[in-house]
Chain A
Amino acid sequence: MKVKQYGKIFCNLLWRDLVVLKSSIVREMINTAFWICLTIFVYAYLMPQLCAGGTFGMFVLVGSIPCIMLFKAVNKAAELVADLGGRQSFLYYFTTPLPYWLIFIRRAFSIALYTIPLSLLMFLIGGVLIWDQMDFSNASILKFIPIFLASNFLVGFCSLWFASWIEKIGDIEAAWFRYVFPCWWLGGYLFSWETFNLNFPLIAKINLINPILYTIEGIRASIIGQEGQINYWICLGMVCLFTIIIAIRAIVLFKRRLDCV
């Protein structure tokens, strides 16, 4: 009975998020299109003229999907931090008949709902821009869907975790420089983990604690193919494991921060 009741309220909260997303999706898409168009121009057209291989554009485009999710998620964390420091509309949800942990989970789901269409649309736009370089001969939609969805939920909880410890909006820089930048840059956005491991084995092994690495490698494995990437199933498992760890940590920290019941 309770599960049904909570489920209904949870769905209504997500419905609210979709209503909000509908009104802002065009603006968000235009913003993100700048990133993807410039990325495609540099890595698919400019870099091959210098030294990179002809398929480098597709390699980077696929690796960009989790990065777009991550950047959007950090913006959402900043929004939440600003809200908590100001009007506190987020706190209203703690007066609804839901347990506190579900309200936090809903926030992460809400971010995933927001990053799913944006990152997917950006991938499609990027794909059209480098259509002649795209090779889907090793792609598997059945592999892509789970890793794509799991990656979105992972960044949703990452966003919640950032917001759980960033005290004020000015401190968002700490999240960017200490976590987002290393995770993004070492996550294999421009190179595979295998290449990294061949050249810097120690750092590459330390980098295995980077959750974004598994999202990038897993999505690449599902679109470009398994060769040269970390095993797809390991990636999917690690993304799920990191999601659970980060979710628990974020909920514990947030509960302590808000002192909610």
Chain B
Amino acid sequence: MADTLISIKNLSKIYNSKEGSIKALDNISLDIHAGEIFGLLGVNGAGKTTLSTILAAFHPLTSGDILYNGISIYKDIPSYRYIVSYCPQTPNLDEELTIEQNLLFAGRYFGMPEDEVQKRTKELLDYFEFSLYAHRKQDVLSGGYARRLLFARAIMHKPKLVILDEPTVGLDPHVRHGLWDIIRMLKKQGVTVILTTHYLDEAEVLSDRICILDKGKIKLIDSPEKLKTEYKKGNLEDVFIELMKEDVLACDHEDGLPEEEENEG
């Protein structure tokens, strides 16, 4: 059995506003294994980003707990942040700094010794093909390269867990494939990756296990292969559509509205 890196216990998140309360996550429990790529899937509003940001120790949870190596992360959040890294959907790079400085300071913020900061920065600039533009501001980068720099910054301090929120959204296919290679490289290095995505093909080829969230609840967790076998489908997209269909039918039954009546409208 794989080692558990992160254990989520009965996690709920409620957003309160003047308009009322929204339960974004409802009593979620799951384990994330060390070294795996864990795909988080779900339709818009399913709670993927909320779960990602809570795991990144950015947003607080309403109830439940998150354990890292069996200890609640909330006992010492700054220490937990040394092992985790979060890449948001929109690149939030420091626009005032150059590409190189973005990496240098990322290392320094995580308390890396200066010689290691310099060495690691050079290594990442070379690997991510930024060496020629190292002294230029990051706003010269295209969407795909900005995302690469975001990846580079995220792994600068060698975290054990990288959370990627929609890392390839809006990118050209060849750029997406380039980023997939980087995600695979992270896995090879033993880094655990939580991958939030809308792209089912991406989740299928990259993820070791997939979690489908629906209305803040876990619908299922399994490997893409097992899901395809169980639902007798050729790809994950068909499995997902099947699952969503089941959900719609279940809703119709709950509402007590037979299809015929609805259609008469």
Q: Which residues of A does B touch, CB under 8 Å?
A: 2, 5-6, 8-9, 12-13, 15-16, 19-20, 23, 87-89, 91-99, 259-261
Residues of chain A contacted by B110 (CB below 8 angstroms): 9, 96-97
With A89-B92, A89-B93 already in contact, 11 other A-B pairs whose C-beta atoms are closer than 8 Å: A5-B78, A8-B111, A15-B108, A20-B96, A87-B95, A92-B92, A96-B110, A97-B82, A97-B109, A97-B111, A260-B58
Q: How far is the CA of A19 from the CA of B135 in the complex (A)?
A: 13
- Asked, given contacts A5-B111, A12-B109, A87-B95, whether A95 binds B81 with beta carbons under 8 Å apart, the answer is yes
Q: Looking at the complex, which of B83-91, B121-129, B253-261 is the stretch in contact with chain A? A: B83-91
Q: Can you list 21 A-B pairs with a CB-CB distance of less than 8 A? A: A2-B78, A5-B78, A12-B105, A12-B109, A16-B105, A23-B96, A87-B90, A87-B91, A89-B93, A91-B58, A93-B109, A94-B58, A95-B58, A95-B81, A95-B84, A95-B86, A96-B81, A97-B81, A97-B110, A260-B59, A260-B60
Residues of chain A contacted by B95 (CB below 8 angstroms): 87, 89
Inter-subunit contact B56/A95 (CB<8 Å): yes
Q: A16, A91, A92, A93 — which one has the most chain B CB atoms within 10 A of its CB?
A: A92
Inter-subunit contact A12/B58 (CB<8 Å): no
User: How many whole Å from B43's CB to the nearest CB in chain A?
Assistant: 23
Q: How far is the CA of A87 from the CA of B95 in the complex (A)?
A: 9
Q: How far is the CA of A94 from the CA of B80 in the complex (A)?
A: 12
Prevailing SS type, chain B contact patch: loop
Q: Which residues of B does A touch, CB under 8 Å?
A: 15, 56-60, 74, 77-79, 81-82, 84-86, 88, 90-97, 101, 105, 108-111
Q: How far is the CA of A92 from the CA of B97 in the complex (A)?
A: 14
User: How many whole Å from B24's CB to the nearest CB in chain A?
Assistant: 11
- Asked, given contacts A88-B90, A95-B86, whether A261 binds B60 with beta carbons under 8 Å apart, the answer is yes
Residues of chain B contacted by A20 (CB below 8 angstroms): 96-97
Inter-subunit contact A97/B97 (CB<8 Å): no
Prevailing SS type, chain A contact patch: helix
Inter-subunit contact A95/B111 (CB<8 Å): no
User: How many whole Å from B162's CB to the nearest CB in chain A?
Assistant: 11
Residues of chain B contacted by A261 (CB below 8 angstroms): 57-60, 74, 77
Q: How far is the CA of A221 from the CA of B82 in the complex (A)?
A: 48
Residues of chain A contacted by B105 (CB below 8 angstroms): 12, 15-16
Residues of chain A contacted by B60 (CB below 8 angstroms): 259-261
Contact of A96 among B79, B91, B101, B109 (CB under 8 A): B109
- Asked, given contacts A12-B105, A16-B105, whether A98 binds B92 with beta carbons under 8 Å apart, the answer is no
Residues of chain B contacted by A16 (CB below 8 angstroms): 94, 97, 101, 105
Q: How far is the CA of A16 from the CA of B86 in the complex (A)?
A: 20
Residues of chain A contacted by B97 (CB below 8 angstroms): 16, 19-20
Q: How far is the CA of A15 from the CA of B57 in the complex (A)?
A: 25
Inter-subunit contact B109/A13 (CB<8 Å): yes
- Asked, given contacts A89-B93, A261-B60, whether A95 binds B101 with beta carbons under 8 Å apart, the answer is no
Measured CB to CB, the nearest residue on chain B to A93 is B109
Measured CB to CB, the nearest residue on chain A to B96 is A20
Residues of chain A contacted by B88 (CB below 8 angstroms): 88, 91
Q: How far is the CA of A15 from the CA of B105 in the complex (A)?
A: 9
Residues of chain A contacted by B111 (CB below 8 angstroms): 5, 8-9, 97
Instruction: Report, nearest first, the 3 A-B pairs whose CB atoms are least far apart.
Output: A261-B60, A12-B108, A97-B78
Inter-subunit contact B81/A91 (CB<8 Å): no
Inter-subunit contact B59/A87 (CB<8 Å): no
User: How many whole Å from A195's CB to the nearest CB in chain B?
Assistant: 43
- Asked, given contacts A260-B59, A261-B59, whether A98 binds B78 with beta carbons under 8 Å apart, the answer is yes
Measured CB to CB, the nearest residue on chain B to A99 is B78
Q: How far is the CA of A125 from the CA of B59 in the complex (A)?
A: 46
Residues of chain B contacted by A260 (CB below 8 angstroms): 58-60
User: How many whole Å from A84's CB to the nearest CB in chain B?
Assistant: 10
Measured CB to CB, the nearest residue on chain A to B107 is A12
- Asked, given contacts A97-B78, A99-B77, A260-B59, whether A89 binds B94 with beta carbons under 8 Å apart, the answer is yes
Q: A2, A96, A97 — which one has the most chain B CB atoms within 10 A of its CB?
A: A97
Q: How far is the CA of A97 from the CA of B59 in the complex (A)?
A: 14
Q: A9, A12, A15 — which one has the most chain B CB atoms within 10 A of its CB?
A: A12
Inter-subunit contact A88/B57 (CB<8 Å): no
